[in-house]
Structure 1
Amino acid sequence: MTEHPARTPARAHPRDRIRAAFADAGVTGWLHAADIDSGAQIDVGADRSVVTASVHKLCLLVALHEHAETGRLNLTDQTECPRDGRTAGPTGLSAMLDPARLSLRDAAYLMMAVSDNTAADLLLERVGLDAVNGTTERLGLTRTHAVQSFRDFIATIREDAGQGGPQALADPQVLARMRALDPGRTNHSTPRDMTRLLGAIWRDEACVPEHGAAVRRLLALQVWPHRLASGFPFDDVHVAGKTGSAPTLRNEVGVIEYPDRGRYAVAVFTRAASPAATLPAADAVIGTAARIAVDALRGSGAASVHGA
C-alpha cells in the first residue's frame, strides 16, 4: 500500500502516517504496537473495544495449552468430527465432507493455520468459554471477553442479515443492527490487550516454555500472506499471526521478529466503509500500518512514541 505523499510527509509522526494510511485504504483503524523487550509502544486508538472475530481463536489456543499444562487434557487426545452439524466456514473441517477423527493439537493447527471454524468449536467444547475467559483474566486482559462460540457468531450474522442473505450487507441499516459488528454483543478485546497477550506468549509468561513454543509454532504456520505479513516481505523477517474477519471487519494480531532479535507485537483492527468481501487495499493496509509502527519502534523515533 503506497502512502499518500500529501498526507504523510517524511517528518510526520508515525501515528499520523498510520491514520493517513487507514484513510487512503477506506477503513477506520485501531492499532497498538509494542517492542516485546523494551516496552516502547505506539498507540492509534489502542484502547478501543473491537470485535475480535477469529482473532479470539488465539485466546482459545492459550487456554487449550493451559489445560494441557495442568493435566486437564492431553493434546494427543482424539476428537470426533461428524459429517453433519459443522460450523460454517470456507476452510479445513468446515469445508470437508466426510467424518474425521484427529488429535486436539491437530485441530488446533487447523484452527490457527487456516482459521477453521469447526476445529475451533471442537476445541471450545473441550475447554469451555469460562476457561477461555479465565485465561485472559489471569493474564490481566481486562478488556477481553468471549461470550459465544464461533458457530453462534456466524449464526447471528445470518439471522441479522435476514432473508436478503449476503446481498443484504449492502444495506447500511442491516449492518447497523448486526450483533457480530458490535463489540458489546460478541467476543471482543482491544488492540492493547492483544499485544499484551502476544508479549506474554513470546516471553513464556502465558504458558510454560514447552507450551509457549507450541503456541508460537502454530501462529507461525498461518497461511495468509495478504494482511500483516504483506508489510514485511523479507526472507530474514519472521511474521507469526492470527487473522479475524466479519462483514466490513479485517483484523490481524501477530509478532514480527528481525534477525537482530528485535521482536514486536502488533494488533491491527479495521472496519471498511464498503461491505464488499474483496477489498485488497483494506487487507494490505494492515501490513502497511504495522510496518510504519515497527519501523518507528526500531528507528530513532522509538523514544518519541514510547507511551504514545
Structure 2
Amino acid sequence: MSTTPHRRRIEAAFAEAGVTGRLHALDIDSGAEVDVGADDPVVTASVHKLCLLVALHDLAAAGDLVLTEPIECAPADRVAGPTGLAAMLDPVRMSVRDLAYLMMSVSDNTAADVLLQRVGLAAVNRTTGRLGLRHTHAVHTFGQLLATVREDAGPDGAQALADPYVTRRLRALDPARTNRSTPRDMTRLLAALWRDEASTPAHGAAMRRLLGLQVWPHRMASGFPFDDVHVAGKTGSLPTVRNEVGVIEYPDGGRYAVAVFTRAASTAATLPPADAVIGTAARFAVDALRAG
C-alpha cells in the first residue's frame, strides 16, 4: 500500500497544506481500505466524544440510563468553550439526549463533561474495549484535558500557544499522555455503528442522526460538495491539531468510513488549508475506494 498512487496523492496534499497527516478509509460493505499511517497513535481531542456517545447508548440499551432523564447544569459547573452550554450564562435543565446533541453537533465541552459525570470514563473505556478498539483509551474528561493545556502553557496563557516550543510540551498533544486512538480504530467504530453492530438498531439510528447534525462544513464535508452525498462526522481540535472522523454516503448505496488526523507545523489558530486538507484527503481516499 505504501507505494500506491492514491497514498502518494494524499501525502502530497498533507505536505502542501503544511501538516503531517494520518488517514484510514474503509468501504463499510466490501472491507476495501486506504491506509496512510492508519495504525499510528493519534490524539483524539473532541473526536473522543464519539466514544462517549456510544458508551451513553450502551448504558441506555442496558436500562441503566434513561435518555430523556433531565440534568441540571449551573453556570459554575461549566467547562470553557465557545459553543453550547459552555458559552451560556444562565442555569439550564436539559435531557441526556439533548446534551448529547450539543456535544456532537457543536462539540460542546460542558455537555460532554455533564454526560461524563453520569457515565464515567471507565464506562467509555469498557465500550471501546467491547468493540475491539485496542488502541483507543480515554484518560481525561474534556475539562481536565483543557486544564492540562492551561497548565503546560504556563503563566502567559493562550498567548504562549503561538510558541512552537510551548506546544511541544503540551501533554494534550502526546498520545501517550492523553485521550488517544488510531485512524483504523475510529473507522472500525464508525463501520460498527453504521452496520448496527455497535448497539441496537434503534440506538444506532439515534447516534447516526446526531453525527449527521454536526454543523461544521469546513473539514471533511468540504471534500464532498454534492447535494446527494451525505457526510456525518465528528471533529476534534487542539493547538496545531485538526481531526475529523465520519461516514460518507453516496446515492448508489456506497458507505465509506474515513478518519483523518492532522498536526500543523504552524501554531496559527486559524489555518484554512489545514482544515480543508481533511476534506481533500478524505475525497481522494473515497475516490480510490470507489474506483476499486
TM-score range normalised by the length of the shorter chain: over 0.9
Alignment of 1:168-179 (within 5 A): 168-179=160-171
Partner of 1:269: 261
Query: How far apart are the structure 2 equivalents of 1:108 and 1:172?
Result: 34
> What is aligned with 1:80?
72
**Identity over aligned pairs, percent:** 75
Which runs of structure 2 are paired with 1:209-228 in the superposition (5 Å)?
209-228=201-220
- 1:238 maps to 230
* Cα distance in 1 for residues equivalent to 2:165 and 2:226: 43
Please name the residue that 2:61 is paired with: 69
Instruction: Verify: 1:114 aligned to 2:111, yes or no.
Output: no
- 2:43 counterpart (51, 62, 82): 51
Greater shift after overlay, 169-178 or 105-114?
A: 169-178
Gaps of 5+ in 2: none
Post-superposition CA distance 1:73-112 (Å, at most 9, x none): 1000011100113111000000000000000000000000
Structure 1 position 252 matched with structure 2 position 238: no
Instruction: Supply the AA of the counterpart residue of 2:85.
Output: L
TM-score, normalised on structure 1?
0.93
Distance (whole Å) between structure 2 residues aligned to residue 85 and residue 130 of structure 1: 21
The alignment partner of 2:25 has SS state of strand
Task: Provide the rounded CA distance (Å) in 2 between the counterparts of 1:187 and 1:217.
Answer: 25
Match of 2:86 in 1: 94
Cα pair distance change 1:208/1:12, threshold 3 Å: closer
**Whole-angstrom distance in 2 between the partners of 1:252 and 1:218:** 15
The counterpart of 1:196, out of the listed 170, 188, 193, is 188
Partner SS for 2:154: helix
Matched, 1:152 2:144: yes
Please say if 1:298 is aligned against 2:277: no
Instruction: Report deviation, 1:172.
Output: 2.2
Moved over 6 A (4+): none
Q: How far apart are the structure 2 equivalents of 1:45 and 1:247?
A: 21
What SS does the aligned partner of 1:142 have?
coil
What is the root-mean-square deviation in Å for CA atoms of aligned residues?
A: 0.9
* Structure 2 letter corresponding to 1:65: H
Shift, 1:170, TM fit: 2.2
